[in-house]
Amino acid sequence: MRQSFRRMMTIVRKEWLHIIRDPRTLALVIVLPVMMLFLLGYAVANDVKDIPLAVADLSHTDTSRTLVDKLTVSEFFMYTHAAQSENEILAMMDAGIVKAGLYIPESFGRDVSTGGVGTIQFYIDGSNPTIAQTAQLAAETISQSMSQEILIKRLERSGTGMQLGLPVDVRMRYLYNPDMKRMNFMIPGLVAIILQVQTLLLTAFAIVREREQGTLEQLIVTPVRSWELMLGKILPFVVVAFVNVVMTVAVGAIWFGVDVVGSSALLAGLSLIFLLGSLGLGVLISNISKTQMQAMYLASFIMMPSFILAGLLFPRENMPWLAYYAGYFLPVTYFLEIVRGIILKGADFFTLWVWIWPMAVFSIVVFFASVLLFHKRL
């Protein structure tokens, strides 16, 4: 046992030397997460605001003007162009000058004041789903609250004599992510990416490199056991991954204001379990690759679906059912729910249990499979 531990630590020390001396790996280890953080923070993560809006108000009534005012003070929309007809709005949308259009027909004011239904037409440019989603949500919310106010006015006028307040005052509040900040969605995703991609690649590379270099042949004839060799190779990357996760979460909190609401210890513990699975996958990949290039391609097979199906970058809710359910086969899907739960909602162990157990089962099975399948022969 003591001998085993000593041999394992010998591998760990050697692996450290490789990490420190190999500028490529070092770059991958340090630069990548930081770069991704700032890329996502500044290039991708524009919060949707001031969507350019064209308005054709043919009704010219108080009611129609109120509606336009409400839309523009919301900060979601900016009244940039006035139009005279529906076709003019469509032309502006075609040209991409505006991303949303509001057409209020002449009859609108009359219909509303006579107790009928005032119809308005809202146009949304669907080519950018994020903008479209926000625009739709904002337009619906605003027109609904407007309808309610009109309804109340009508009731008051109908002569009951009493002052009516709004029976139900609907105010939309986004829970967990009150400012709808994109970074709140992104930071947990980034934590998952680091733990999945970085550890998987680094582990696979570290083992395949021995094969490529021919040093594996020399290692095989030493008394080091397969599992000592494997653990020794993995341990440094566990440390590396943890440093990176801490760094990401810290930058997220300090620079982008995304605080960890829940327990950091819980986050660390569950990250460790997820990490086991990633490392295991890395070892499995290294088992069947002869070159680092092959390992890279194999790793892409795992990473690509993770990026897309697990909801790292796009919400899963909008995916077609096949893609949505396929996500449940990826451990990173579960882990992402856990990280978002802890960082944004402050969720505890029991709340997250539904996500924890499938992830834990996967990680442990993959990890032990990789230990057993890792053989010290050519």
Partner 1 sequence: MAISVEALLLTKQYSSQPKGSRPALDAVDLHVEAGQLYGLVGPDGAGKTTLLRILSTVMNPTSGSARLMGYDVNKQAEQIRSRLGYMPQAFSLYPDLSVMENLRFFADINGVSHGKQKSRIDELLEFARLTDFTSRRSENLSGGMRKKLALACALVHEPEILLLDEPTTGVDPVSRRELWQLLAKVIQQGVTVLVSTPYMDEAERCNMVSIIYQGRILTTGAPVDLERQMPFRIVEVKAKPRGTLRQVVDKIDGGYGWRAVGDRLRLSVVDPAGVQARIKANLETAGAQISILREARILMEDVFIYLVEQQEKQA
Residues that bind partner 1 (CB under 8 A): 3, 6-7, 10-11, 13-14, 17-18, 21-22, 213-215, 217-224, 377-378
Nearer Cβ to partner 1 (190/206): 206
Nearest distance, CB of residue 373 and partner 1, angstroms = 17
Nearer Cβ to partner 1 (157/377): 377
Nearer Cβ to partner 1 (60/290): 290
Nearer Cβ to partner 1 (182/209): 209
Sheet holding 77-82, edge to edge: 77-82, 51-57, 100-104, 121-124
Task: Cite the DSSP H helix spans in the chain.
Answer: 2-21, 23-38, 62-73, 86-95, 108-113, 129-155, 182-193, 199-213, 215-220, 226-254, 264-288, 292-309, 321-326, 331-340, 349-373
Tally of CB atoms within 10 A around 284: 21
Nearest distance, CB of residue 242 and partner 1, angstroms = 24
Nearest distance, CB of residue 94 and partner 1, angstroms = 60
DSSP state of 328: G
Nearest distance, CB of residue 23 and partner 1, angstroms = 10
Q: Which of 31, 34, 51 is nearest to 42 (CA)?
A: 34
DSSP letters, 108-172, are HHHHHHTTS----EEEE-TTSHHHHHHHHHHHHHHHHHHHHHHHHHHHIIIII-SPP--SS----
Nearest distance, CB of residue 215 and partner 1, angstroms = 5
Nearer Cβ to partner 1 (7/316): 7
Nearest distance, CB of residue 377 and partner 1, angstroms = 6
Nearer Cβ to partner 1 (4/143): 4
